[in-house]
């Protein structure tokens, strides 16, 4: 797929099934995540991969986080199933690296760019994906269960697999609605 076409037609795909990327395809996706702009080359990201039984483990951690957060029973019950919406989930974490010039925010932006690059690399190889966020992304109980530090931050959950349906087309955003000259 042409790079510009990929960027101009990018769509998230929530309907995902096996197979998920593995082997060289997964390595290419992860490598794409490491090629993003990274001021001072801090590599302020970590990719936590869940597939197979790892999806159950991630679901159990999410369930416990919901329980400790006092979420309603239906939310707690749903948490165990959340990772199973795709055969592969990559939890992308901004791992804070103390630095006198590079701010926490810049490091979080770098990790977010890594997530986006990985989604694009998956799509370029014929897979589908969706970047999910939500309350679990900022839940400190889940962060602690994943051995993350106080300044580390989950920037998203990248769900990957093979699309079962084509993503719906998305209307173009009128540039005059988002662009202004200075």
Say if residue 104 is exposed, middle or buried (CB neighbours under 10 Å; 0-12, 13-18, 19+): middle
In this predicted structure, what is the pLDDT of residue 169?
A: 84
Q: CA 89, CA 95: separation in Å to the nearest integer?
A: 18
pLDDT value of residue 170: 86
Q: Is 14 helix (H, G, I), strand (E, B) or coil?
A: coil
Residues annotated in a binding site:
10-12, 35, 131-133
Q: Give the model's confidence band at 35: pLDDT under 50 very low, under 70 low, under 90 confident, else very high.
A: very high
* pLDDT at position 23: 98
Confidence band of 107 (pLDDT split at 50, 70, 90): very high
CB 51 within 8 A of CB 100: no
Q: What average pLDDT does this structure show over 146-155?
A: 97
Residue 72 to residues 57, 66, 143, 181, Cα–Cα distance (Å): 21, 8, 20, 47
Given this model, what pLDDT does residue 168 score? 83
Average pLDDT, the chain: 96
Please say whether the beta carbons of 63 and 71 come within 8 A. no
- Could you tell me what percent of the chain has a pLDDT over 70? 99
- pLDDT of amino acid 90: 98
Model confidence at 149, pLDDT cuts 50, 70, 90, reads very high
Among 2-11, 57-66, 116-125, 153-162, whose mean pLDDT is lowest?
Answer: 2-11
- Is residue 92 within 8 A of residue 115, CB to CB? The reply is yes
Q: pLDDT, tens digit, for every residue of 163-181? A: 999 888 888 899 999 999 9
* Locus of tokens 């770098």: 110
Secondary structure of residue 155 in the 3-state scheme: strand
Question: Is the pLDDT score of 151 beyond 80?
Answer: yes
Q: Quick count: other Cβ atoms within 10 Å of Cβ 165? A: 10
Q: For 103-113, what is the mean pLDDT?
A: 98
Whole-angstrom Cα distance, residue 82 to residue 56?
Answer: 9
- Per-residue tokens: 108: 């979080």
Annotated binding site for FMN: 10-12, 35, 131-133
Q: Is the pTM of this model over 0.85?
A: yes
Give the residue from 108, 113, 101, 92 showing the smallest Cα distance to 160. Answer: 92
Catalogue all structural domains in the chain, each as residue range(s) with its CATH number: 14-164 (3.40.109.10)
How does pLDDT run across 53-100, given as a tens digit for each residue? 999 999 999 999 999 999 999 999 999 999 999 999 999 999 999 999
């Amino acid at each position: 797929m042409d790079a510009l076409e990929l960027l101009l037609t990018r769509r998230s795909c929530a309907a995902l099934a096996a197979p998920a990327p593995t082997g060289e395809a997964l390595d290419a996706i992860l490598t794409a995540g490491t090629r993003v702009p990274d001021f001072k080359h801090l590599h302020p990201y970590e990719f936590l991969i869940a597939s197979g039984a790892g999806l159950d483990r991630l679901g159990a951690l999410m369930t416990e986080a919901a329980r400790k957060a006092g979420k309603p029973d239906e939310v707690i019950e749903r948490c165990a199933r959340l990772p199973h919406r795709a055969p592969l989930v990559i939890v992308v974490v901004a791992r804070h690296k103390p630095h006198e010039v590079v701010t926490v925010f810049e490091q979080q932006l770098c990790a977010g760019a890594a997530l986006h690059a990985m989604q694009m690399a998956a799509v370029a190889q014929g897979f589908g994906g969706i970047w999910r966020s939500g309350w679990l992304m900022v839940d400190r109980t889940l962060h602690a269960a994943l051995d993350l530090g106080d300044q580390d931050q989950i920037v998203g959950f990248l769900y990957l697999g093979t699309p079962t349906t084509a993503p719906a087309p998305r209307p173009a955003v009128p540039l005059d609605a988002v662009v202004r000259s200075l």
